[in-house]
Structure 1
């Protein structure tokens, strides 16, 4: 039986690797580490199908060291210890440590991760972890502190087109079919930046077409995928597509749509913590100051799910989902912090005005640190007008209230305190 196209085309060297130029391009951080012949432990964080596993295998081949793989889904603490024992016996003096690659490391329990600590710390193994989840939430702090974190991005359009053309030019089976791309928009759209999904779509469309040459059109791609909707997803569940639909239904104030996609995730065996985290993010990003209680409820739902588990956990998740979907919406806090970060990047490390500086020593007081600072609580209404931005930005506005009852009250208060500065 022939291997899947994605496996047949898996790159063996960095020169064949597509995408992630910020990590493996000439002069990039991982490229330099690999070229030096010695790497330290690190975790690759990114969406599915962007080359995490492939990159780990390329590194092992390039360094010519023993390479062990564990899946967090199927491996227990005993498996981890067995691999560490093998790695210890395969370690030679002055050689790079054997590489232990752990796919989906976010699914490892705390005890499994604890069992890795000693081996990573002593250099018995060099750990390469791969995760689709934020490691700050899923990887224990002692292990995370011993690893560098590299973020992989979804593949760009140019990367995906390069992959398609490499596939039809290099794969022996596709070469026989003489594939011609008339249109590629549908393939790129359905792939969502996932190389594996893109190649699965290509293989599906070519395999279902009896003609030679095979002409790929958007209509043909959509027709094939409607007939075989699960064939282009590795696990038969569109993990990231469904969570996207879920969040967009909440953002769009449709509780029916949000509950439907929640049910799809519940039935599909999704990790309840994954759903709960997305609700907390949505409460901050999409509801925000229009209804600050949304964040409290989302956080309470998260806690409840962690306490009661499945199947009852679906109920607080549903409660939070309906509440968020039916709440008024605002992204003013989200837009505000993004604007502030962009402003900091543009203006650099501007000095803190003297009156806002801390003055713990006599010398600092003599230099004017903290001088003329006005303590708000010493004034009527617990407010006194003074400058809180660097001198160069003193008239810059960052937060802009949006048109909803909650923020209208906040806006009125700011105008009452500051006058024209907060008038839109």
Structure 2
């Protein structure tokens, strides 16, 4: 760039952005590690969440062509797969992790298509934040309450003394029951009946929801018959 610039009256070759762009034959993109960086990251995330593959590709290209670390982009996609898709399409997490591994394996610029493929998949997958909401509720219970002891019947009992103390006593092995289902409490007594995970009706999660409802109906019917 300096060689292509004529010296001024003081004999100094002055280089500006236009000169650099001309030398590189590539437009310099506005992208820094401060506010604009996070604006574009936000735009990518919201485009994926909004199921717009075209917008997602645009913001992905803005990041990569401006020199963003491709592994940072991959990490954001992995988080997105769990936070905004979850069990509506469990394969989304596999795709996002595979894109990260592809970038690590073949590097850039060849890895850009692996990220683009993942972005399209994530944008067009069914959406659910049920996993995110479930974990936040469980975390809130953990952080806001004193830690209750593990119920005796589901404690580990590797020694005779622990057996004598009642560790593991009364545990019902699900595989010995029809449908591998048995009436049994797994949460501490203070949290008995607490429901964290509430699946949606979207994608594969609809099947999970139906399965959980069927299991609960089976257990309810068994309780009714034993009364």
TM-score, structure 2 as length reference: 0.79
Q: Show the counterpart of 1:290.
A: 88
- How many residues are paired up? 192
What CA distance in whole angstroms lies between the structure 2 residues aligned with 1:237 and 1:383?
52
Q: Tell me if structure 1 keeps the 8 A contact 2:201–2:209.
A: no
For residues 380-419 of structure 1, give each alpha carbon's deviation from its aligned partner in whole angstroms, at most 9, with x where no partner exists. Answer: 2222221111011111111111121422211111111123
5+ residue gaps in structure 2?
1-28, 221-227
The residue number in structure 1 matching 2:76 is 278
Once the two structures are superposed, the pairs formed by residues 165-204 of structure 1 within 5 Å of their partners are none
Distance in 2 separating the partners of 1:296 and 1:381: 29
Summarize the alignment of residues 105-184 of structure 1 with structure 2, pairs less than 5 Å apart.
none
On the 8 A contact 1:415/1:421 being kept in 2, the answer is no
CA RMSD of aligned residues (A): 2.1
| Structure 1 residue 421, shift from structure 2 partner | 9.0
Q: Runs of 5+ in structure 1 lacking a partner?
A: 1-228
Q: Does 1:318 align with 2:147?
A: no
Question: Residue 130 of structure 2 is aligned with which of 332, 337, 354?
Answer: 332
Higher fraction of strand: 1
For residues 225-266 of structure 1, what are the alpha-carbon distances to aligned partners after superposition, in whole Å with 9 as ceiling and x for unaligned? xxxx95xx7669821111111011001111011000001011
Write the mapping of 1:261-410 to structure 2, written as runs, cut at 5 A.
Answer: 261-410=59-208
Higher relative contact order (CA 8 A, sep 6+): 2
Checking the alignment, whether the CA contact within 8 Å between 1:365 and 1:371 is kept in structure 2 is yes
Aligned to 2:57: 259
How far apart are 1:420 and its partner, in Å?
Answer: 9.1
What are the superposed Cα offsets for residues 248-287 of structure 1, whole Å, 9 maximum, x if unpaired?
1001111011000001011101111001111111111111
Deviations along 1:101-120, one digit per CA (max 9) or x if unpaired, are xxxxxxxxxxxxxxxxxxxx
Contact 1:385 1:418 in 2 (8 A): no
Residue of structure 1 in register with 2:13 after alignment: none
Please, what TM-score do these two structures have when normalized by structure 1? 0.43
Q: 8 Å contact 2:183–2:219 — kept in the other structure?
A: no
| Contact 1:289–1:407 (CA under 8 A) maintained in structure 2 | yes
CA distance in 2, matches of 1:419, 1:390: 23
Separation (CA, whole Å) in 2 of partners of 1:347 and 1:237? 37
Q: CA 1:338/1:420 → structure 2, altered by over 3 Å: closer, same or farther?
A: farther
